[in-house]
Amino acid sequence: MNIADKEKQIFPKVFKSYNSLQLSIQLFEDFLDDTKSSVSGDYYRARKLLKEGDGAFQEALKNAKKLLGPMPEYATDEYRIWREEFLHKYNVLTKCTELQECQAELTADEVLIQLMPHEEIDALLQLHFQTQQEGKRRLENIKVRIILDKLHQMITHANELQKQALIKHQSSLKELRDSAGQG
């Protein structure tokens, strides 16, 4: 099959999203911190990084749905084999069946430990363990669900910070206009 592994991997998009969002959050927090000097450039850079992080998240989500979602009816046997090999080769699926097994596996996972501390992995596992086994969901996909949930939380946090930063930015622009008008 001519599908390039690099193009279909979930994790590079995850790390691109994570790194962009993490820097965006830091820049917004610094911009909002009155004890630090902030410049408009940081505000605009943080917005750009938020947009990049969200875009990479959307791509990772799309790839996750393709790789982990239901197999299309028209899929060839070759594609089915490639998909299974790919998911195992890149350690996308979990092997656990019980909560304690999942905790041990996920807190030792090399991708997850780069994205969040053990406590956060445990908290998200507790949150999703039961629901990940209901309906059409499969427990083996919980790692990707935890990763995507973490990124979604970061996007939500960055959007809240952006709203606060916009208010501060508009206020500082108004002060500059007012002071220029008086001078």
pLDDT in tens, 79-116: 899 998 989 888 899 999 999 999 999 999 999 999 99
For 134, phi and psi rounded to 5 degrees? -100, 150
| Mean local confidence (pLDDT), 30-57 | 90
Contact 154, 19 (CB under 8 A): no
pLDDT in tens, 28-42: 999 999 877 777 789
pLDDT in tens, 134-162: 888 899 999 999 999 999 999 999 999 99
Retrieve residue 142's tokens: 């919980």
- Judge whether residue 2 has pLDDT over 70: no
* 114 Cβ neighbours under 8 A, 6+ residues apart: 15
pTM of the model: 0.87
Give one word for 88, left, alpha or beta, with left for phi > 0 and alpha for psi -120 to 50: alpha
Whole-number Cα distances in Å, 3 to 78, 79, 145: 11, 9, 24
Q: Which helix (H) or strand (E) holds 3?
A: none
